[in-house]
Structure 1
Amino acid sequence: MTVPVSEIFDVRYGHSLELNRLVRASAGNGVAFVSRKMGDNGISAFVESIPGVEPAPAGDISCALGGNGVLTTHLQEQPFYVGRDVAILRPIIGLSKAQVLFYCFCIRSNRFRYSYGRQANKTLRSLLIPSLDDLPSWIDNVDITMYDGSDAPVSHDYVPTLASKPWGLFLLSQLFDLKKGKRLTKAQLRTRPGSVPFIGAIDSNNGVSAGVDTAIHEGGTITVNYNGAGVADAFYQPVPFWASDDVNVLYPKFMMSPAVALFIATVIGKEKYRFSYGRKWHLERMRQSAIHLPMNEAGEPDFVYMETFIKVLPFSKSVI
């Protein structure tokens, strides 16, 4: 059985604040400002408290009513202000955190009904979602704390900013031996299933598009798409794998840690604007290509800095 959103939540318009008229603050001292942003739980910035304007309390839900992120819905776990075209929802019945998160997903799943020109400001209350009695039973058994602490960094050391470091150009062929992947047809992929990652020219999932039975490349390397929509997308591969013929594989000529590999892969990905489907980053062109990297006093790539920089980033403890 489905019921309107208004039977589960009190829906009201938010503060309709403009971020450019507010005073920015640090995350530790300010109030979260939630916009129609799709990522980062909708939080665009932190701002100073506004006299006479009470933030919405932790536990309320923000829901974008328009824009490209229409119906982006987030549970806010700290007091917050909202920008224009963002509604605030508060449960009018007793709900667990897991149930609230499930309802956020249900509301967000209605995004296909809207567009930039068709907003949800008049219809959010009437959107149909499951009644409390019809929620799946597995929700109560979900461990929603399983990812707590996943955003922790490896280190809290001080690291100079990227802008304060000298950077230099280094040929990829100076740093890596470059090798080409090998083609497997779709028919071959179907007949050779396995647990070995098959790296295709895609821009997500660390490049893994299938599983095969044999590895042809070593782990501890970087794969770079030279063809397709994901051209120049680069990924660190920690285990042996098979790379397709649309992928080049970079074998380091130095001791490359996972942290350094992630830094360099990110830098390589910034070269994407130079290439397209009609201008591929093939092996010969890649050998002649150079990337910018931080330098040490000897004018060499500063791998120690790259390692330290990655290790102070959020989520690095979960990745490295």
Structure 2
Amino acid sequence: MELTNREWKEFSIVEIFDSIQRGKRLKKNDHIGGNIPYTSSTALNNGIDAFIGNDKNVRIFKNCLTLANSGSVGSTFFQPFNVVASDHVTMLDNANFNKYIYLFLATMVTRLNEKYSFNREINDTRIKKEKILLPINSDRKPDYVFMENFMKQKENEFLEKYKKYVTGKESEIKQDFLTDNIEWKEFLFPDIFEIKNGFYNKKPTSSGNGKIPFLGATANKNGVTEYYTLSEIEDNSKIGFGKNEPLSKKLFKGNCIVVTNNGSVGYAYYQVSEFTCSHDVNPLYLKNENLNPYIAKFLITTIEQQRVCFEYARKWRPMRMKKSKILLPVNSENKPDFQYMENYIKTLENEKLKRYLDYKKLNISEYK
């Protein structure tokens, strides 16, 4: 099933959805602790911004799409469970749709973000005038059968990839490394890492056309706050910072862990590719061992245990970091057991993927 061999046609939003309703305003100070997802204007976590216990004077939606009408305008998600919707999202519902049709439609509705921005929101009047492009059947009506089957096919393709991935990873995991009788030892950060200083004291201006990530003191998006072109990093006159400094001071190699020392202090991220960064983060390069994503994930968990010691008013600057300690499993030579760390994370990943496949209750023969 291909998208390219279908005929497409524009349809008004009101033709597709029977019910279109904005959520209700709920101030953050009025949130009650609980486990009901609260959806707002974020483009992350399926639009879920928090979990609350409010069930009065709120609007609760289920089995629908939620569209961010402000903030991350256009971000659209399928909500299969009850969610409390803020006034920053609009619910789109059709009782005849199932999960697969909604997922297809979510992709098409999200394209509205090309027309809107933080300063131009999708208000109630505008949404009812909007149109989306959809594949059609022989009656020139939306081909919901195709949409459903297309999304099922995509889901099955991913499930097959997961199954092959899990099978392949099982052969890589050395089970004899996984034992409860592991010993742990504290190490100073400089014993494990080469600690480097970030560069910029202020985020430079970006054209928005670059691909080199800029990392700052944030707890979101793997620490990335902006992207730059190489020429923007090289051209000091454009960015106005670090004049006469060589590129080698401003551009860092990937395959390292980056730790925030200010702002959202103590968050750590694995950075695979080259990047530039502010002085509010410190790139850490592993000594005497080749870093990989599995070892990095283990180390990140132990590094972030330090967050309780620091805050915005007590920064984790390099001088303090060099005196900090990290608790790690050790081998028979009383050195960090990186093989154990790698296999431990691989096992966790494998178990999670297996649980996902079990949850789906599918196998290759069932969904071909």
Structure 2 counterpart of 1:177, from 185, 191, 194 = 194
Residue equivalent to 1:52? none
The structural deviation recorded for 1:248 is: 0.5
Measure, in 1, the Cα distance between the counterparts of 2:219 and 2:268.
8
Does structure 2 conserve the Cα–Cα contact (< 8 Å) formed by 1:311 and 1:317?
A: no
Query: Structure 1 residues 316 and 70, CA, compared in 2 at 3 Å: closer, same or farther?
Result: farther
Measure, in 2, the Cα distance between the counterparts of 1:199 and 1:88.
37
Say whether 1:147 aligns with 2:158: yes
Identity of aligned residues (%): 27
The structural deviation recorded for 1:202 is: 1.5
1:38-73 Cα deviation digits (max 9, x unpaired):
6xxxxxxxxxxxxxxxxxxxxxxxxxxxx72779xx
Structure 1, unaligned stretches of length 5 or more?
Answer: 6-34, 39-66, 72-86, 90-101, 114-126
Does structure 2 conserve the Cα–Cα contact (< 8 Å) formed by 1:310 and 1:316?
A: no
Residue equivalent to 2:11? none
The structural deviation recorded for 1:293 is: 0.2
Aligned counterparts, 1:271-310, within 5 A:
271-310=306-345
Measure, in 2, the Cα distance between the counterparts of 1:282 and 1:268.
14
Does structure 2 conserve the Cα–Cα contact (< 8 Å) formed by 1:103 and 1:129?
A: no
Structure 1 counterpart of 2:302, from 267, 274, 280 = 267
Measure, in 2, the Cα distance between the counterparts of 1:235 and 1:294.
20
Residue equivalent to 1:226? 261
Residue equivalent to 1:202? 218
TM-score (structure 1 length as normaliser): 0.57
Residue identity matched to 2:94 = P
Does structure 2 conserve the Cα–Cα contact (< 8 Å) formed by 1:159 and 1:308?
A: no
1:202-250 Cα deviation digits (max 9, x unpaired):
1222212221123611111110000112x11111111111121110011
Structure 2 counterpart of 1:111, from 85, 88, 103 = 85
Measure, in 2, the Cα distance between the counterparts of 1:185 and 1:146.
44
Measure, in 1, the Cα distance between the counterparts of 2:77 and 2:202.
42
Look up the SS of the partner of 2:282 in the other structure: strand
Look up the SS of the partner of 1:164 in the other structure: coil
Which one has more relative contact order, counting CA pairs under 8 Å at least 6 apart?
1
Query: Structure 1 residues 171 and 241, CA, compared in 2 at 3 Å: closer, same or farther?
Result: same
Does structure 2 conserve the Cα–Cα contact (< 8 Å) formed by 1:178 and 1:249?
A: yes
More helix by share: 2
Does structure 1 conserve the Cα–Cα contact (< 8 Å) formed by 2:62 and 2:80?
A: no
Say whether 1:212 aligns with 2:228: yes
Does structure 1 conserve the Cα–Cα contact (< 8 Å) formed by 2:254 and 2:275?
A: yes
Query: Structure 1 residues 288 and 255, CA, compared in 2 at 3 Å: closer, same or farther?
Result: same
Does structure 2 conserve the Cα–Cα contact (< 8 Å) formed by 1:217 and 1:240?
A: yes
Structure 2 counterpart of 1:243, from 277, 280, 288 = 277
Look up the SS of the partner of 1:144 in the other structure: helix
1:3-51 Cα deviation digits (max 9, x unpaired):
479xxxxxxxxxxxxxxxxxxxxxxxxxxxxx9576xxxxxxxxxxxxx
Residue equivalent to 1:56? none
Look up the SS of the partner of 1:147 in the other structure: helix
Structure 2, unaligned stretches of length 5 or more?
Answer: 1-13, 21-33, 38-50, 56-60, 64-75, 106-133, 136-146, 231-249, 354-368
Residue equivalent to 1:129? 93
